[in-house]
Amino acid sequence: MNEQEMKMDLQPEEERVSPAPEPVVSPKEPQSEAEQGGISSQETSTFEEESSKTEEVSSVAETLPTEEIPKTEETPPVMEAEPKAAHYDAPRTPYRWDYQNYAELERKNRRRRNIGGKIALGVTLVVILVLIVASVSMWKDYLGGGNELPSEGSSESSSLGNESSVAPEISIGQSQEGGSGSSDSDVPTEYLSVSAIASKVRPGIVGVCSYVDEYPFAPIGEGSGIIATSDGYIVTNQHVIDGADGIVVVLENGERYEAKVIGQDSYTDLAVIKISATDLPAVKFGDPEEMSVGDYVVAIGNPGGMDFAGSVTMGIVSALDRQIQTGSGIPMSCIQTDAAINPGNSGGALVNTKGEVIGINSSKIVATGYENMGFAISMTDAQPILNQLMKNGKVTDRVYLGVSVQEVDQWTARVYGVPVGLVIVEIDEKSPAYQAGLRAGDILVSLDDVQLEFVTDLTQLLSYYYTPGDTATFQVYRADKLEAGKSITVQVKLAEAK
């Protein structure tokens, strides 16, 4: 490498300029721009300027002092300028749309849309089919008499239709079979709060509205009812539906159903009606025998009618086994409570702290000077009556004696010098008792050697141990105005209650 080349290598890269070739001047006459293939005079001047600059750089390089550069074993590599990217000078071609790829993409999207549409159509058809099947099933139930009201003048047994063969039974201490009410596993503790009791039982309490043909625009009476089974059996008081030509049941969620009478019993003031519905929140019935005076209870019903539906009041058990006479004069074992019970609560539930229905609210003392004295028919007495109504539409094999009695306690017996027993205060002259020789004023002392002290003694003995056609033997004390009373024996052939 000579000195001139060494000097050139020491120049900065930005000052290295390749000598431009000298232009060749043709002696021919100058031609027009078109004739020269598009080269103008302006371009020629540019080449001359670059050539003059190159000569100046060469002259400057010659004036630099020459120094001898010591030789080293390794000569540093010469950095060469990178060539310009080729794509800068490459000709640009216009972009062309590939219609074949676009058509293929469109076909794929169309196939996807077709598959989604088919799935949506299939789901819609399935939903429509399910709705059609459900509608046909509901219509069959309707035509089968689910929403028919009992015809005027029809008997209780005729209102049953085909229900008697499949009628369920009410069980104490168990959730009703098929019911959607709370089971034992739903009860977290033995004793629930009032709010927990209300949440558990309120869905099973309904409104019972009675209508008559003469005035069908508004109910003549509104009471309460208890859902006994999930398939629509509802228990209530007989006086709530007495004389009604049509009955409408209103659920807690506001749904309304026409109801038919399955059976009613004026002697015990109990009735069973039914609506065409399924999966209803049936309540759980409890055992009143487990209750004690002072235990907390909750009353749930519709005091004053549907305007105050689902009202919840709390109280205690004031007394157990109170003998309260029904409208027919038949005494029923009732639970006395100070929980508020008002007109409209009839047929509602009296609930223990486990959320179990132990009584059917039926009455209260409304006389002046009495407060907080409400009564609920004990489920112990109500259960067998309700099961017969659900099965037969009436209470079968119930004996009929035909007397109304009142207790003669020990204090009264001592004052008047008579035995303890039940005095006849009223007697039906067409009854078996009257035909056998019993009269008003007679004191029934015993029935087949069983002492009679309370009204329930007589009613329970007749209900549990006698059937129509049996003969009952009474020991009777008959007082005589002219002489001392005497004891006589009267045998009565019991008839069936109508």
Any idea which residues carry the catalytic annotation?
Answer: 239, 269, 346
Helices marked H in 221-282: 238-241
Please list, in sequence order, all residues whose beta carbon lies within 8 angstroms of the beta carbon of residue 480, skipping any fewer than 6 positions away: 486
Nearest to 148 by CA among 42, 261, 307: 261
Full DSSP string of 278-335:
-S----BB--GGG--TT-EEEEEE-TTSGGGTTEEEEEEEEEEEEEEE-TTS-EEEEE
Work out whether strand 233-236 and strand 221-227 pair parallel, antiparallel, or are unpaired.
antiparallel
In Å, what is the CA distance from 459 to each residue of 177, 263, 325, 402, 445?
31, 21, 12, 12, 14
Nearest to 202 by CA among 342, 298, 290, 343: 298
Q: What b/e sequence results for 122-132 when a residue is b if at least 16 CB atoms lie within 10 Å of its CB, and e otherwise?
A: eeeeeeeeeee
Spatial separation of the C-alpha atoms in residues 485 and 419, rounded to whole Å: 10
Backbone CA torsion sign across 225, 169, 259, 200: positive
Query: Counting Cβ atoms within 10 Å, is residue 99 exposed (0-12), middle (13-18) or buried (19+)?
Result: exposed
Amino acid at 135: S
